């Protein structure tokens, strides 16, 4: 869709672009209104798993995590590779592995919403 809109803009077809975009917004407005804001989602990890199953018919990949620091103050670096959503690689840091995973999923939810996947 992005390529089509870009071609229409290049051909100075602003009216066609406006019709396509407003039609898409009208068609997807109920879905966009239902989805909670990514930063407030109660379960971002579960939401990404559901989105992945719905779109790609499979489970979301397991993230790769590594810890550093003293045992009493560990920090976690986490990489989550999600094909089909946004930039695909989400790198985050957190005080626990779960917190880093949730942060990566929140970023992916923001991208999914921006790309109209939610």
pLDDT, tens digit only, all 118 positions of the chain: 677 777 777 878 778 878 888 887 777 666 655 555 666 778 889 988 888 888 878 878 889 999 999 989 999 999 988 877 767 889 999 999 999 999 999 988 888 888 777 6
Task: Quote the strand ranges of 60-110, DSSP E.
Answer: 64-68, 75-81, 89-94
Domain 38-118 grouped into CATH 2.60.40.420: no
pTM exceeding the 0.75 threshold for the entire prediction? no
Mutual angle of helices 97-114 and 44-56, in 10-degree steps: 50
Burial class of residue 80 (count of CB atoms within 10 Å of its CB; 0-12, 13-18, 19+)? buried
Spatial separation of the C-alpha atoms in residues 50 and 59, rounded to whole Å: 8
| pLDDT computed for residue 31 by the predictor | 62
| pLDDT computed for residue 36 by the predictor | 58
* Domain range summary for the chain, segments of one domain joined by +: 1-34, 38-118
| Terminal alpha carbon distance of the chain | 16
Spatial separation of the C-alpha atoms in residues 66 and 74, rounded to whole Å: 10
Spatial separation of the C-alpha atoms in residues 33 and 103, rounded to whole Å: 22
| pLDDT computed for residue 42 by the predictor | 83
Cα 41 to its chain centre, rounded Å, is 12
> What CA–CA distances, in Å, run from 7 to 1, 14, 15, 86, 87?
10, 11, 13, 21, 22
């Amino acid at each position: 869709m992005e390529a089509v809109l870009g071609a229409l803009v290049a051909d100075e077809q602003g009216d066609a672009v406006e019709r396509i975009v407003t039609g898409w917004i009208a068609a997807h407005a109920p879905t966009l209104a239902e989805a909670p804001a990514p930063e407030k989602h109660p379960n971002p990890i579960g939401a990404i798993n559901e989105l992945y199953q719905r779109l790609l018919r499979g489970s979301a990949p397991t993230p790769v995590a590594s810890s550093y620091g003293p045992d009493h103050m560990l920090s976690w670096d986490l990489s989550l590779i999600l094909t089909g959503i946004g930039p695909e690689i989400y790198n985050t840091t957190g005080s626990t592995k779960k917190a880093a995973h949730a942060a990566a999923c929140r970023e992916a939810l923001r991208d999914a919403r921006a790309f109209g996947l939610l």
